Chain A
Amino acid sequence: GAVVSQHPSRVICKSGTSVKIECRSLDFQATTMFWYRQFPKKSLMLMATSNEGSKATYEQGVEKDKFLINHASLTLSTLTVTSAHPEDSSFYICSASGQGEYEQYFGPGTRLTVT
């Protein structure tokens, strides 16, 4: 089956710094990648959709300048949380879909803690 990885699995950063999370499709070409945020004991909320080589489409209420998404290749998308604050602490999950496919394959998630 299709495998998606995320790195790092957990990260702690200081308030005001930036942190980058990588999402990779290991055995297929991901034309579309999605970034979700999940608060404790809550559901997944879509933050943005990115297509390879195009600018990401952000959901309403998600700050584009704070959550920078880059999808420069068919196997890699990155989410950069800029000037992180404690309220950005959360579990971030990516998923990926191949060309013409509807099914999303999920990464294992990244736990971000901002101190």
Chain B
Amino acid sequence: SQTIHQWPATLVQPVGSPLSLECTVEGTSNPNLYWYRQAAGRGLQLLFYSVGIGQISSEVPQNLSASRPQDRQFILSSKKLLLSDSSFYLCACTDPGKDEQFFGPGTRLTVL
């Protein structure tokens, strides 16, 4: 079964600094990959999804971007963080043609 790694687990960054969160997946090939954001007390908001290397779809306009340089690597980035970017970020994957989505342990980002 799949294993999803996310790092760092926690991160504190100043406003205006860049961001790079990494997600890697083991135990599968050619997965669909997802980035979600979960603000305190709120549900999950889908930010980006990818069906293959270099293929990224954005769900909401924002100052974040995503890239997929390798089949099982998904990166969430920002050039300049905002206070409102403070959140819990989750990476998830699905095997093509399968219905179950697996989640990573998440990254807690605090922007000060």
- Does B bind A? no
